[in-house]
């Protein structure tokens, strides 16, 4: 039987990633491919780096997109900064910060894990205690832990890193362009992200930036980086002034990332941060009006891009999500690891963080819950969200 033309459904991706993509980014993705050393593409590379510096808010020389997913960003940050005999601390409060720890254990460095209960951020005091008597080279942390919807405020960890003379390595995969972050002002040493989250580009690129202090550490390594592909210094030979061949990058993904970051800069970072905040507040108000509880209890610990909520009693997790997908074309995510079957993770990332999407999701959730026999106040979710928008001063017609 012949295989037909590829025709994916157009979903509303209200997940922890990937997020739905702006039509303008799709247009960039469909632009003609040129060679990776073509003069046009070299200009595109320079523009991509300049936009990336604006989004990261940095003047770092080493600022480029790695040809990899966000997990490749973790790998890049860890294997470049750690050598045999080094000591490091990784803050773990969920599935993806655990991944950073796992990658770190595969180096020949000595790794200390500092944990926090799921739904909370790691306490800087715990990091300080764990570092006693050790010469710590890096402290690794997930700014936004996608699996639990927790944001870690970085100022306390920056202070501890300063006391220890350590580099602060930050996973900003779920936070870049949605949560306030200024790489230079906050003196963050290595920060990486992913293209498919709040930037709303396709998966496959990992923007990364390295401070001059961290660059100095990389320059004076005693041994080669254990990964050829993720070696920042050789990759930067291509993204630097020389544009020396390193590998053939995904041209079309870079087009898309460039356009997604251009739209981010066009909107303005502060406006984008506020848009994410206002939409999450409306989503929370709507869920609570439907008697759906938040997983992260402390509002200060809530990551604006991912809102985990407790699955109400009497609702079948998989059937609920399947019906949302089949009837409303909306995808949300379930819990992973120990939270599987206990929470839903509702994503409001980049292009998805719109009022119309929040109101549609709330009304769809109400309908599916009623179909499963769970009685909730009719229309309460949407009404509460509208009141939240009114109080925040965000016009309902605006994105």
Instruction: Give the CATH fold of the 23-266 domain.
Output: 3.40.640
Q: Which residues on neighbouring strands pair with residue 339, listed in sequence order?
A: none
Peptide bond just before 18 cis, omega within 30 deg: yes
Q: Are 304 and 174 in contact (CB under 8 A)?
A: no
How far apart, in whole angstroms, are the C-alpha atoms of residue 27 and residue 36?
Answer: 20
* Inter-CA distances, 45 with 49, 254, 376, Å: 6, 8, 52
CA 67 to chain centre: 16
Q: Output the pLDDT for position 398.
A: 45
Stated length of the chain: 399
Q: Are 44 and 255 in contact (CB under 8 A)?
A: yes
Neighbours of 26 (CB within 10 A): 12
DSSP letter string over 328-346?
Answer: H-EE-EE--GGGTTTEEEE
Q: Are 364 and 327 in contact (CB under 8 A)?
A: yes
DSSP letter string over 22-45?
Answer: -HHHHHHHTSPP--TT-HHHHHHH
pTM above 0.75, yes or no: yes
Neighbours of 109 (CB within 10 A): 19
Q: Do domains 23-266 and 269-392 have the same CATH topology?
A: no
Q: Output the pLDDT for position 397.
A: 45
How far apart, in whole angstroms, are the C-alpha atoms of residue 79 and residue 324?
Answer: 41
Q: Output the pLDDT for position 104.
A: 98
Q: Are 339 and 187 in contact (CB under 8 A)?
A: no
DSSP code of 68? S
According to DSSP, the β-strands at 190-192 and 206-210 are antiparallel
DSSP code of 314? T
Which CATH number is 269-392 given? 3.90.1150.10
**Domain ranges within the chain, ordered by starting residue:** 23-266, 269-392
Q: Output the pLDDT for position 395.
A: 55
* Inter-CA distances, 325 with 143, 306, 321, 336, 358, Å: 30, 18, 6, 19, 15
Average pLDDT of each block of 10 consecutive residues along the chain (399 residues)? 94 97 98 96 97 98 97 98 97 98 97 98 98 97 98 98 98 98 98 98 98 97 96 94 91 98 98 98 98 97 98 96 98 97 98 98 97 90 97 61
Residue-wise pLDDT tens digits, 88-142: 999 999 999 999 999 999 999 999 999 999 999 999 999 999 999 999 999 999 9
Neighbours of 108 (CB within 10 A): 12
Q: Output the pLDDT for position 394.
A: 59
DSSP code of 225? -
Site of tokens 């870049």: 176
How many CA atoms lie within 13 Å of 17's alpha carbon, on the beta-carbon side? 27
SS3 of residue 357 by DSSP: helix
Q: Are 274 and 372 in contact (CB under 8 A)?
A: no
- Non-local CB neighbours of 360 within 8 Å, separated by 6+ positions: 12, 328, 330
């Amino acid at each position: 039987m012949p295989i037909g033309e590829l025709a994916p459904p157009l979903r509303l991706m209200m997940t922890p990633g990937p997020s739905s993509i702006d039509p303008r980014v799709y247009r960039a993705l469909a632009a003609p491919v040129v060679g990776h050393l073509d003069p046009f593409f070299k200009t595109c590379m320079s523009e991509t780096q300049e936009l990336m510096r604006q989004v990261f808010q940095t003047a770092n020389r080493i600022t480029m997109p790695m040809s990899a997913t966000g997990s490749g960003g973790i790998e890049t940050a860890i294997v470049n900064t750690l050598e045999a005999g080094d000591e490091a601390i990784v803050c773990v409060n969920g599935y993806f910060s655990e991944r950073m720890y796992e990658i770190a254990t595969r180096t020949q460095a000595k790794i200390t894990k500092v944990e926090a209960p799921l739904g909370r951020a790691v306490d800087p005091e715990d990091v300080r205690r764990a570092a006693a008597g050790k010469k710590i080279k890096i402290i690794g942390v997930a700014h936004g832990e996608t699996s639990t919807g927790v944001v870690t405020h970085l100022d306390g960890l920056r202070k501890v890193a300063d006391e220890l003379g350590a580099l602060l390595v930050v996973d900003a995969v779920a936070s870049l362009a949605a949560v306030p972050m200024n790489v230079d002002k906050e003196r963050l040493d290595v920060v990486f992200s992913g293209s498919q989250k709040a930037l709303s580009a396709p998966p496959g690129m990992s923007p990364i930036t390295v401070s001059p202090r961290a660059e100095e550490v990389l320059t004076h390594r005693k041994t080669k980086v254990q990964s050829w592909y993720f070696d920042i210094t050789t990759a930067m030979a291509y993204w630097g002034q020389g544009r020396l061949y390193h590998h053939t990058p995904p041209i079309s993904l870079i087009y898309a990332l460039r356009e997604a970051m251009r739209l981010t800069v066009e909107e303005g970072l502060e406006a984008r941060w506020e848009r994410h905040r206002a939409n999450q507040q409306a989503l929370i108000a709507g869920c609570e009006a439907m008697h759906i509880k938040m997983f992260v209890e402390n509002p200060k610990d809530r990551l604006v891009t991912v809102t985990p909520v407790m699955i109400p009693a009497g609702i079948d997790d998989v059937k609920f999500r399947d019906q949302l997908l089949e009837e409303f074309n909306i995808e949300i995510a379930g819990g992973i690891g120990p939270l599987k079957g206990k929470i839903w993770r509702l994503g409001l990332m980049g292009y998805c963080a719109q009022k119309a999407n929040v109101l549609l999701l709330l009304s769809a959730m109400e309908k599916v819950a009623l179909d499963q026999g769970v009685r909730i106040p009719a229309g309460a979710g949407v009404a509460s969200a509208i009141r939240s928008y009114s109080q925040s001063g965000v016009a309902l017609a605006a994105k």
